Structures are given as C-alpha cells and as structure tokens.
C-alpha cells in the first residue's frame, strides 16, 4: 500500500499545503489565504480543512503524519508557536490544536526557515554536508545552521537570526531597533526601496516605464530584468546588494567556517545574478584560509521548500 505525508507551510498571507509521497514528491496541492481574523483557532481550522481535502479517500493508516513549517519561533519538541511576528501570535499550542482537530498523534510543528534547511540537508543541495548554513533572502534574511549534520537551534531556539546581524554599526535603524542590520541593506525589501528612492530623486532608468510609472509596483524581478537590459541604476543596485550580501556571508564564514553555504529564497530565485555577485563579495571579504573550505550552492527547493521541509520533519520523526 502507498503511504503519504502532509506538509503545511504556514505563512502570514497564505497556508500552502501539499500531499507528499514518501520520496517527498508533491502529489497534490491545497493553498488558501490565511484568515487570522478569528486568531489561532480559526487558522487551525483552516489547516485541518486543508489536510482533510488533501487526504480525502485515503485510509487513516495511509497518512504517516502532518508536518507544519511555521514562521516565527517554535518550541522544539512541543510544537508550540512561542512567537510569530507575521501572525502576531504568542504561545499558541499549534501542534496540540491540530492534533486534536485531526484525531491524529503524528503532528509536528517547527520553524519554517529551519525546516527549509532540513529539506536542503536531507533531500536538496546540502546532502551529506556536515557544517552548512542555508541563507534565505526574501523580504528579510533568515538562515538555518547545520552543525555536525544536525540543525543547530541555540540556547532557546533563536540561532540563525542572521538578518539582524550588524554590517554597519552606526547604520540606519532596522524595524528591530538595531542599527545597520544585514537585512535592512541586503533583503528584497531594501533593494526595492533603494530603487524607488533613486527614481524619486529623478535618476534616469527604464525601471520607471517598466512599472508604468507606479513605483509601488516595483519588484526585485523588475530590477533583475532591467539589469539584463543594461540599465545602469538596476546594475548599480544589484552590485551594491551583492556587496552587502557578501559582507554578511563573510561574517558567517569567519565565525563558523562552514563547508557549504546554500543560498535560496525569493530574491535569489527572482534575481539569479545576485548569487554570483554575493559569492564574489563573500570570497573577497573572508579570511582566505577560512573561505578556501567553503563551497556554495543554490537552494534545490523553491517556493515548495516549506512544505517539503515539513514533510522531512514527519519522516525524521518516524525514525528511531
């Protein structure tokens, strides 16, 4: 008989769920907009309904478990969401809430970035790596750190919050309060902001026409396309962003001397040029002996990283 796993990627805007086979190939998808208006109870209801739609017609014994990759801080072991900035949740026992709704014990919840790193480690670009850092660049920058072949959580689960490391000790303040955070320089949000600011200052660029004059429509993909067309502003923004990305990456290299750095996330996917620019800056800025040991790779999984990672969580939980 065939066995299945349900992976759920719980985000602030959508709940992306998938039925996976035991090789973690996606069999079926189910995506709904997150409705947080009734708080955690309502969102848990939505998640349970997705699971029921995906597993309809399958016998209970065919479903090995449900994994949830959640934004924010999740207590290891209990699957309690201690803090989710996107959903504005504190201390939500999501694992237990979902387990009760599904009448199923095999429910596992963990942090989405860590799950994406786990997916890369076991089934993606990081297979066989001992010391690896997966850096995901999107609206912010997050990372999952693998030490000795295992996810490293830190003292209370906050390891890998590299988006808030400082690359400019007296730089502009990040919403986190800290001046000069890496992500306030090198995230997709920061790229788009710098492009808009330059256009508002009156810099000449095809970017303005590309968004029909509506600067709110400017995306990192727009900048990537303008760069390919030789636009000077787009080129400068990519060069700067590569430089900033490399500064933060070199901090990871000099501190942790990993053998592998995997780069992924929406910005690296949408602006593929950034990977090489970031790597070049990282190699130039790191101690030569330390960076000599470091390989780099693009993340194997894309948007599906969360649901795949959640599936890995179920697979690993089933192991002795």
| Residues within the interface to a copy of itself (CB under 8 A) | 73, 82-83, 130-131, 145, 147-148, 152-162, 164-170, 176, 178-179, 185, 243-244, 247-248, 250-252, 254-259, 285-287, 289-290, 292-294
Look up residue 162 and give its two tokens: 């590299």
Is the separation of the CB atoms in 71 and 10 below 8 Å? yes
**Least CB distance from residue 83 to a copy of itself, whole Å?**
7
Q: By C-beta, is 205 or 251 nearer to a copy of itself?
A: 251
**Least CB distance from residue 86 to a copy of itself, whole Å?**
15
Q: Under the phi-then-psi rule, with left for phi > 0, alpha for psi from -120 to 50, and beta for the rest, what region is 188?
A: alpha
Beta-carbon count within 10 A of 204 CB: 11
Q: Is 88 a catalytic residue?
A: no
CA-angle at 228, arms to 280 and 249, nearest 5°: 25
**Least CB distance from residue 155 to a copy of itself, whole Å?**
4
Q: By C-beta, is 13 or 169 nearer to a copy of itself?
A: 169
**What 3-state class would DSSP assign to 189?**
helix
**Least CB distance from residue 289 to a copy of itself, whole Å?**
6
Q: By C-beta, is 47 or 129 nearer to a copy of itself?
A: 129
Q: Which residues contact 202 (CB under 8 A, 6 or more apart)?
A: none
Q: Which residues contact 83 (CB under 8 A, 6 or more apart)?
A: 72, 73, 89, 90
| Strand ranges of the sheet holding 26-33, from the earlier edge strand across to the other edge | 26-33, 14-21, 4-10, 63-70, 107-111
**Least CB distance from residue 245 to a copy of itself, whole Å?**
10
Among the listed residues 9, 30, 112, 231, the single catalytic one is: 112
Q: By C-beta, is 42 or 154 nearer to a copy of itself?
A: 154
Q: By C-beta, is 177 or 202 nearer to a copy of itself?
A: 177
3-state secondary structure labels for all residues of 97-164: HHHHHHCCCCEEEEEHHHHHHHHHHHHCCCCCCCCEEEEEECCCEEEEEEECCEECCCCCCCCCCHHH
Q: Which residues form the catalytic set?
A: 112
């Amino acid at each position: 008989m065939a066995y299945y796993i349900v992976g759920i990627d719980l985000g602030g805007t959508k709940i992306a769920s998938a039925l996976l086979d035991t090789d973690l190939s996606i069999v079926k998808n189910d995506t709904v907009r997150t409705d947080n208006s009734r708080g955690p109870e309502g969102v848990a209801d939505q998640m349970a309904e997705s699971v029921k739609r995906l597993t309809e017609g399958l016998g209970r014994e065919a479903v090995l478990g449900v994994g949830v990759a959640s934004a924010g801080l999740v207590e290891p072991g209990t699957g309690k969401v201690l803090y989710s900035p996107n959903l504005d949740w504190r201390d939500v026992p999501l694992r237990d809430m979902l387990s009760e709704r599904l009448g199923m014990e095999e429910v596992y919840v963990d942090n989405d970035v860590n799950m994406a790193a786990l997916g890369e480690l076991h089934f993606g670009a990081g297979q066989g790596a001992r010391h690896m850092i997966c850096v995901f660049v999107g609206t912010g920058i997050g990372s999952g750190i693998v030490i000795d072949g295992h996810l490293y959580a830190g003292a209370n689960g906050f390891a890998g919050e590299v988006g808030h490391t400082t690359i400019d000790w007296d730089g502009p303040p990040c919403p986190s309060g800290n001046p000069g955070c890496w992500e306030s320089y090198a995230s997709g949000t920061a790229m788009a902001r710098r492009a808009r600011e330059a256009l508002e200052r009156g810099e000449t660029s095809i970017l303005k026409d590309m968004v029909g004059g509506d600067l709110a429509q400017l995306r990192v993909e727009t900048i990537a396309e303008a760069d390919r067309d030789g636009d000077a502003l787009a080129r400068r923004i990519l060069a700067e962003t590569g430089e900033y990305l490399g500064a933060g990456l070199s901090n990871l290299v000099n501190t942790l001397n990993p053998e592998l750095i995997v780069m992924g996330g929406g910005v690296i996917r949408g602006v593929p040029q950034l990977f090489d620019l970031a790597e070049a800056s990282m190699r130039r800025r790191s101690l030569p002996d330390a960076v000599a040991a470091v390989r780099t790779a693009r993340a194997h999984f894309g948007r599906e990283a969360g649901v795949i990672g959640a599936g890995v969580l179920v697979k690993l939980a089933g192991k002795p």
